[in-house]
Every structure is written in C-alpha cells, then in structure tokens.
Amino acid sequence: MAKYNIRDKKEMAAAYRNTVSPVMMDWLQEKIMNIIVMQKKYCDKSYSAKELARDVGTNTRYISAVINERFRMNYTSFINKFRIDDAIRILEDKRYQDLNVEDVGKLVGFTSRMTFYSSFYRNVGMTPREYRIQHLQILPPKGKKKKGA
C-alpha cells in the first residue's frame, strides 16, 4: 500500500460542460481571448474568473468549461501562460536588461517571486534568470566601459 495513498488522476468531464453548445463555446472563447489577451487583463494581479465572467456576461462555470475544453487547463494556468509568454518577450529584449527578474514577474502580473519562478519553471523548464542568461547576452551597464577598451 502506498504511503500517501496517491492514485492516478482520472479524467472526469464536468456535467456542465455538456450544457455549453459548440456555438456558445466559440463565442465565449472569442470574448475570453479578447479580454484576456487584447485588453491584457492577464497583467492585472487581481483579475479573477469571477470578474472575467462578469465582463463576458456569463457565469464562472461557463468560463471554466470553455477554458478547460478549449485550452485543456484551468483558469490560473491559462492566465499564467500569457504572463509567461510576456515575461519571455521581456527577458529576451535588451531594452529591459537592467530590469531585475522579480520586477519582470511583477510587470506581467505575478504577485510573488515564488509564484513567478515556479510557474515559469513549470512552463519553460528553467528559471527566468537561467532563461535570461541563456537567451540574452548581458551587456555591461550604460556608462561603463569594458576592460581593455
């Protein structure tokens, strides 16, 4: 018998998912993407599924159903994916090289360094700092010359 009684996760379909028609799913998906991506609500640290449902004009169960069905993730993972994508763009951009990694996380909507690092690592396979070092040749701060120059 397993020490912690860990079992394989079973894929269970929520009953309410069947109540959302494919046409309604398409409409909701478009609205969700408009609000989250185009309006950059993912950067808002306090933007919740409840607020998204209110802005779309539906309920949280439908929001959850669409995100689960169309994107195969929960609301938090969905939001964090856009935050991570935005963080990657910033970490690769030389204009932001003076910005520390924790500030990058705050800029894209993460509430804490730990949440940013764990979400980034889960999605990318390395820490934001490791990613920056690997993808951005760090230049010396402005105003300072390299030795021997």
Task: Give how many domains the chain has, as a whole number.
Answer: 2
Asked if residue 4 belongs to a domain, the reply is no
Q: Is the domain of 98 the same as that of 129?
A: yes
Q: Is the domain of 26 the same as that of 66?
A: yes
Asked if residue 2 belongs to a domain, the reply is no
Q: Is the domain of 84 the same as that of 64?
A: no
Q: Is the domain of 94 the same as that of 117?
A: yes
Q: Is the domain of 58 the same as that of 89?
A: no
| Helices of type H across the chain | 22-33, 49-56, 60-71, 75-92, 101-107, 113-124, 128-135
User: What residue has token string 């409840």?
Assistant: 50
* Environment class of 139 (CB within 10 Å of its CB; exposed 0-12, middle 13-18, buried 19+): exposed
What confidence category does residue 147 fall into, taking pLDDT thresholds of 50, 70 and 90?
low
List, for residues 28-64, the tens digit of each pLDDT value: 999 999 999 999 999 999 999 999 999 999 999 999 9
Residue ranges making up the domain that contains 23:
15-72
pTM of the model: 0.79
